[in-house]
Amino acid sequence: MAVSFKMCVSFGLFVGLMMLGLVSSAKFDELFQPGWAMDHFIYEGELLKLKLDNYSGAGFASKSKYLFGKVTMQIKLVEGDSAGTMSSDGPNHNEFDFEFLGNTTGEPYLVQTNVYVNGVGNREQRMNLWFDPTKDFHSYSILWNQRQVVFLVDETPIRVHTNMEHKGIPFPKDQAMGVYSSIWNADDWATRGGLVKTDWSHAPFIASYKGFEIDACECPVSVAANEIADKCRSSGEKRFWWDEPTMSELSMHQSHQLVWVRANHLVYDYCTDTARFPVMPVECEHHHH
């Protein structure tokens, strides 16, 4: 099983008038709507639960698309034996992924991150979390601006993807993106490369959500693709917090946190996988974290 949280855009042009605004909310139905399997949604006040059984998983999507900002969800993952489960969403698109790979009882959860740019992914990193994500809610965030994409867990950065267009490396900054999350059966690959299958005797598997926050530049409908980025960048008197100089890179404290996370919890990095990549991917040569 897998539970996923991602920002994704499938194709570039949107038609109509672009509305520009900042959105921030903690209510699911103000920001999101069910995408599929509505009978697998459980609402308990401010709490949303997604159910996976041997009939179906479930997923939801944001009502709007966004360019630059920060998205946060508080999630409590499936307890017990969740091997084989995973959640995520899926030709020329940009995408930032959090994917939580199910475990067998007593083993740590793995969180996998990935970055797709212009339809090209294969940038997986995996790490063990430093807490049990099934015992309580924890916040998972993606910060996105012109200079970097930062993945954060409880406000601790676990990965940075830096804009290196000056090196000829594409960076996702010109297409508005939707926010998606889902739970689905991924026992063909999620746990130990697919060796451990979903044990349906433990079903239904429940992932719980609350604290939905999107503080970003909203693009409910859009103008031409080449004008989108200008609408969500600071210029003149128009200022956005994600364009402030302090957001162009990690703070010293955040940099120390990232070094600690990678030293103690990183278990896989595509940059060091010489079997998959005999020639190191070009962006890996320039990332220093």
Catalytic residue ranges: 95, 99
Tokens matching residue 87: 């959640």
Tokens matching residue 85: 């489960």
Q: Which amino acid does the sequence have at 89?
A: D
Cα 18 from Cα 186, distance rounded (Å): 37
* Residues contacting residue 90 through CB under 8 Å, at least 6 positions apart: 8
- Strands 66-76 and 125-128, how do they pair? unpaired
What DSSP assignment string belongs to 232-281? TS-BTTB--GGGSGGGSS--HHHHHHHHHHHHHHEEEEGGG-TTT-SSPP
Cis peptide before 204 (omega within 30 of 0): yes
Whether residue 188 contacts residue 101, with contact meaning beta carbons closer than 8 Å, is answered with no
The Cα-based distances of 90 to 57, 75, 79, 119 in angstroms read 15, 20, 25, 10
Closest of 153, 157, 216, 154 to residue 22, by C-alpha: 216
Whether residue 68 contacts residue 242, with contact meaning beta carbons closer than 8 Å, is answered with yes
